A and B are shown apart, each in its own frame.
Chain A
Amino acid sequence: MPSKASATVTAPLPVAAPKAKQIQWRDFVVYIFFAVVLVFFAFTIGDKGFLTVANLFNITRTTSMIAIMAIAMTFVIAAGELDLSIGSSAALSALVAALVMTSGYGIFAAVLLGILSGVAVGALNSFFVTVLQIPSFLVTLGSMQLIRGLDMRLTYTKPVAISEMTFNSMFGSGKIGPVPSLFVWSLVVVIIAHIVLRYTTFGRQVLATGGNPVAARYSGVPVERIKMYCFLLSGASGALAGLLYSGMMQTARYTFGTGAELAAIAAVILGGTSLFGGKATVIGTFVGALLIGTINNGLIIMGLDVSEQMMISGGLIILAVAFGRRPTKT
C-alpha cells in the first residue's frame, strides 16, 4: 500500500506526462545503432583494414549519392509524399550531362542541363500530385519506369564515357587533401538541408504540410506549392547524385541509381523521420545512410558474399526501425 504521508495534492497533471520523457531516446536510435555497429566492426575487423582512414573515407564516398538522395527524400516524406523516381532522375541527369559534354558544349552547360533534367522530372511529378491530386506513390511509381525507359532509350543503353577531367574531379573522383570530394558534396547538402528544414519558415511549412495538410491550409500554408517545391528539390538532388555517379565512374550509364529510391527511403526512416510526414530530421537521415554504408562495408571486409550481405543488412534495418518504433496509442 502506498503511504499517504503528504496531505497536499497538486492539481492532476495530464496522465501522459511521465511517458513523454521515456520516449525521447527513441529519437536517437540511429545514432546508438551507428555507434554500436562502428564499435563492433572496430573490434572484429579493426585489424583487417576497417579502421584505416582510407577505408572510413571510402565508406563516406560510396554512401554520398544515397545520402544526398535520402536528404531530398526527407523533405518529400516530411511533406507527406514519396518520390520513387529519384533514382531514374539520377541516371537521366548523368546521361544528359555526358551527352552535352561529348557534344562539346562544356562543363557549365552540362551541369546546368543535367540539374534541369531532374527539375523537369520533379515538375512532372508535382503536376500530377498537386494539380490532379493523384497519390504520389502512384505518380512516381509510373515516372520511375517512364524515366528509366527514357534513360535506356537516350543512348540505346550504351554507356557514355566522360573525358572532361575537371568535371570528373569536381564531381566524384577528386579529393581535397585526404577528403574525397564526394564526401564534401554530401556534407554541404546536409548542412544546407538541415538549416533549411530546422530554421527556415519553408522548413516549418513542409512539416506542417505533412503533419496535417488540412490544418496547414487553415493556417494559411500554401500546401500545394510547398509540395511542389519538395518535388522540384527531390528532382534536383537526384540529378546532383547522378552527376556524382558519373564523375566517380567517369562514365554515364542508364543503370545509375537503380534501387536507390528504396535505399534512400530506408535511410530516411532509419534516421527517425516519420513515414507519414510531419516529423523529420536531416542529420538522422545522413547517419542512417552512413549506417547502411558502414554495414555493407564491414560485411565485405569480413568476407561475406553479396547474398549474405543483403540478408544481414536487411535484417539490421528491420531491427533498427523496430527499436525506434513509438508505442502505438490505443
Chain B
Amino acid sequence: MANQNILEMRDIEKTFGSIPVLKKVNFALQKGEIHAFMGGNGAGKSTLMKVLTGVYSRDSGEIVINGKPHHFATPRDAEAAGIAMIFQELSLIPTLTVAQNIFLHREPRSGYFLNDAEAVRRSREILADLGEDIDPNARVQDISSGACQMVEIAKALSQNAQILIMDEPTSSLSDHETSSLFRIVRRLQSNGISIIYISHRMAEIFELCDRVTVMRDGGIVLTDTCKNISMQVLIDAMLGPGTESSLQWRERGSHSNAPVVLDVENITSAGEYRDVSFQIRAGEIVGLAGLMGSGRTEIAQAIFGIRSADSGTVRLGGKTIISTADAIAAGIALVPESRRRQGLILDHSVAENFLLPNLDVFKSGSFVNERGAARKILDFIKLLGIKTDSPDKAVHELSGGNQQKVVLSKWLVREPKLLILDEPTLGVDIGAKSDIVEIVRKLADKGAAVLVISSEFEELLAMSDRILVLQDGNLTSQLDRRNIASEEVLHHAVQS
C-alpha cells in the first residue's frame, strides 16, 4: 500500500502566553518517505517537532500514528510510539562508549547486573546493518562527528523507531560524511522507516527528499513533491510574499586598482596548510572554497592571530599581525565558525556581547562607558534587524540568525578594514541569511576587504568577486567569479 500515512497531525494548536505559535497545523507523513521540513526561525517548526516528540503538550488537535490517536505526556511516550529525534546538538555522552550510549537507560541486563557483552553485540549488529565500521567499545569523544551521527541513528534504531526526525544533520559533517549519511538515510527509507528531515540547505533537500513542507508564521504554507517545485518557489514560500532574496550574484565591478588591504605571504603551518599567499584589495569580497579539513579555518585563525602560522607573514595595511590584539588593533574582525562556542558568551546579554571586543572604544579611563555603548547597540539592533525584546536579553534566547547578527554587530561597530566570515550562515534561516549577505555587501561597498569561508558554494557564488580554491592545505587556483558558470565548476575545482 503506497501513500499510506504513518503519521497524521491534525489541527494542532499551541499558544505560549497570548501568542499562537501553531495555528491549526495539519501535517501528514507517508510510510517510507523522506519528507523535508523547512521554515525560518520562529516559523514554528521546532515547536511542532517538540509537540510530536512529547516535549510540549498540544493545546488542541490530534496526533494519529498508524491510524491510532496518541497522546504524549512525556518524551518517553513518543519514544514508545516509535518516534525518535536526532538533535542538531548531539545528545551523546562523550565519556561513555558507543555501545553504552546506544543503550543508555535501556541497558541489557542479566539479573541485577548490566550485560555489557550483549550491549556490544547488539550495537555491532545495528552498526553493521547501517554499513558502518564503528567500534562499539570506542569512546564517543574519540570518534568523528560523522560517526556520532551514525551512533545517534543506531540509538534510534535500537528503540525500533518507525519515524525518525533529523534536525540539520549535516551541519557539522564533511562532504564525504554527508554522502555516507545520505546513503544510510536512503537505506532506512527502503527498510520502511519514515523520515522528517529538517534542513536549511536547499541542495540537500532536492537531492535527498521525496516531499517538502514549508512552515511560516505558525502555519503550513506549502507541501509538495520535490520534483514539482523549484528552489525559487521554496525560497518564496519561506520568505513570504513581497520579499526579495539577495542570494543572487551581483557583479560588483573591478577592484584591481584599489589598494591592497590584506597581504598574506607564504604562511605555513605543519599539517594544516603550506605556502599560502594571497591578497585582498579594498572593497573586494573574496571567497575561500575548500572541503572541511582543507585548512580554511586554520588560515582564518592565522590571519586573526588566534594561532599564528609557523612561518610566513600576515600584513594588514603594512602592519604585521602576530597576536589577536594586533589583529583587532589593525582593523581585522573575525566572525568565527562556531558562534555558540567562539562567537558569543551565551548566558550574557546582547549588549554585553556587543561590548566585549569594544571595551577599548566604549570607555572613559578604566571605566566602561555604558551609556555610549547602549546607544550604539540600539542603532545596530535597528540597522541589522536583530529580533530581541531588549539589549539586556540573554543571547541564548535568540534564534540562530539573530545570534549571528549580534556577532556581526560587535565587529561592524569597529568599522573593520578586513572582515573574515567563517561559515557565516551555518544554521541560519533563509531570511537572516539574505540579510547577512546584504550587510556584507554594503560593508564591502564602503571599502572594506572581506574574506568569506563557506561550505555552501551557493553562498560563495552569491557573494564573492573572486574565489580562492584550497585543497589539502594548498591554494590550487583562483577563479574570477565572472568565469564561473555554475556550482559544478566550483565543485570540480575543489575536489579534483
Q: Are A200 and B368 in contact (CB under 8 A)?
A: yes
> A208 to B342, alpha carbons, bound, how many Å?
12
Task: Report A205-239 residues with CB < 8 Å from chain B CB.
Answer: 205, 207-208, 211-212, 214-222
Kindly supply a per-residue 1/0 record for chain A positions 188-203, scoring 1 wherever the CB is within 8 Å of any chain B CB and 0 otherwise: 0000000000011111
**B347:A211 contact, CB within 8 angstroms:** yes
Q: Hey, which chain B residues are within 8 Å of A14, CB to CB?
A: 42, 387-389, 397-399
Binds B, one of A16-24, A42-50, A98-106, A286-294: A16-24
Cross-chain contact of B368 among A17, A201, A214 (Cβ < 8 A): A201
Those of B38-66 within 8 Å (CB) of chain A: 42, 44, 47, 55
Report if B344 contacts A (CB, 8 A).
yes
Q: Are B347 and A330 in contact (CB under 8 A)?
A: no
Which chain B residues (361-401) contact chain A, with CB distance < 8 Å? 363, 366-368, 370, 387-389, 393-394, 397-399
Q: Is the Cβ of A205 less than 8 Å from the Cβ of B359? A: yes
Chain A residues closer than 8 Å to B344, beta-carbon distance? 212, 215
Q: What B residues does A205 contact at CB under 8 A?
A: 359
Size category of the B interface is 35 or more
**Complex formed: what's the CA distance from A215 to B324 in Å?**
12
**A327 sits at the interface (CB 8 A):** no
Known: A15-B21, A20-B397, A199-B368. A219 touches B55 (CB 8 A): no
* Interface: A177 (CB within 8 A): no
Q: Is A204 engaged at the interface, CB distance under 8 Å to the other chain?
A: yes
Contact of A218 among B342, B355, B399 (CB under 8 A): B342
Does B80 sit within 8 A of A, measured CB to CB? no
**Nearest Cβ in chain B — how far from A104, in angstroms?**
39
> Are B21 and A12 closer than 8 Å at their CB atoms?
yes
Residues of A within 8 A of B328 (CB): 220
Query: How far in angstroms is the closest Cβ of chain B from A242?
Result: 28
* Residue pair B345, A12 in contact (C-beta under 8 Å): no
Chain A residues contacting B360 (CB-CB under 8 Å) are 201
Report whether B352 and A212 are in contact in the complex, using a CB–CB cutoff of 8 Å. Answer: no
Q: Is the CB of A214 within 8 A of B352?
A: no
Contact A218 B334 (CB under 8 A): yes
Which of chain B's residues have a CB closer than 8 A to the CB of A221? 356
B267-307 interface code vs A (CB 8 A; 1 in, 0 out): 00000000000000000000000000000000000001010
Between A2, A17, A215, the greatest number of chain B beta carbons within 10 A of the residue's beta carbon is seen for A215
Distance (Å) between the CB of A147 and the closest chain B CB? 31
Q: Is there an interface contact between B15 and A12, defined as CB atoms closer than 8 Å? A: no
Chain B nearest CB, measured from A325 CB (Å): 15
By the criterion CB–CB under 8 Å, are B356 and A12 in contact? Answer: no
Q: Check B368–A211 contact: CB distance below 8 A.
A: no
Taking the complex as formed, is B341 at the interface, i.e. its CB lies under 8 A from any CB of chain A? yes
Is the CB–CB distance between A201 and B359 below 8 Å?
Answer: yes
Is B416 part of the contact surface with A, judged by Cβ < 8 Å? no
- CB-based contact B368/A204 at 8 Å: yes
| Residues of chain B within 8 A of A219, CB atoms compared | 356-357, 410
State whether A211 and B16 are in contact (beta carbons under 8 Å apart), knowing that A201-B367, A216-B356, A219-B357 are contacts in the complex. no
Are A211 and B345 in touch, CB under 8 angstroms? yes
Residue in chain A with minimal CB distance to B17: A18
In the complex, which residues of chain A have a beta carbon less than 8 angstroms from the beta carbon of B346?
211-212
Residues of B within 8 A of A18 (CB): 16-17
Q: Please state if B42 and A218 are interface contacts (CB–CB under 8 Å).
A: no
Q: Is A9 an interface residue (CB 8 A)?
A: yes
Which residues on B sit within 8 Å (CB–CB) of A212? 341, 344-346
B397-A204 in contact (CB<8A): no
Whether a CB of chain B sits under 8 angstroms from the CB of A118 is no
Asked if A207 contacts B324 (CB within 8 A), the reply is: no
B487 vs chain A, min Cβ distance (A): 31
- B343 close to A (CB within 8 Å): yes
Query: Which residues of A lie under 8 Å from residue B334 when comparing CB positions?
Result: 218
Known interface pairs A2-B15, A212-B344, A220-B324; A12-B357 also in contact (CB < 8 Å): no
Interchain CB contact under 8 A, B397 and A215: no
Give the chain B neighbours of A11 by CB distance below 8 A.
Answer: 42, 217
Q: Is the CB of A278 within 8 A of B306?
A: no
Question: Which of A20, A278, A330 is close to B348, meaning CB atoms less than 8 Å apart?
Answer: A278
A281 CB → nearest B CB, Å: 14
Bound Cα distance A20, B346 (Å) = 15
Which residues does chain A contribute within 8 Å of B394, judged by CB atoms? Answer: 20
Whether A16 contacts B342 in the complex (CB less than 8 A), given A222-B325, A278-B347, A279-B347, comes out as no
Q: A132 interface residue, CB < 8 Å from B?
A: no
Q: Does A311 contact B (CB under 8 A)?
A: no
User: Among B17, B20, B217, B343, which residue has its beta carbon within 8 angstroms of that of A215?
Assistant: B343
Whether, in the assembled complex, A13 has its beta carbon less than 8 Å from a beta carbon of chain B, the answer is: yes
Give chain B interface residues in 118-168, CB to chain A under 8 Å. Answer: none
Does B218 count as interface, using CB distance less than 8 angstroms? yes
Q: Is the CB of B42 within 8 A of A211?
A: no
> Among A2, A199, A212, which residue has the most Cβ atoms of chain B within 10 A?
A212
Given A200-B368, A216-B356, A13 contacting B19 (CB threshold 8 A)? yes
Q: Which residues of A contact B352 (CB under 8 A)?
A: 204, 207-208
Q: How far is A279 from B218 in the complex, measured between Cα atoms in Å?
A: 35
Q: List 7 A-B contacts (CB under 8 A).
A: A12-B20, A13-B19, A14-B399, A18-B17, A200-B366, A212-B341, A278-B348
3 pairs of A and B residues whose beta carbons are closest in the complex: A211-B345, A219-B357, A201-B359
Identify 9 new A-B residue pairs, CB closer than 8 A, beyond the known A12-B21, A18-B16: A12-B19, A16-B397, A201-B360, A201-B367, A208-B348, A208-B352, A212-B345, A218-B343, A219-B410
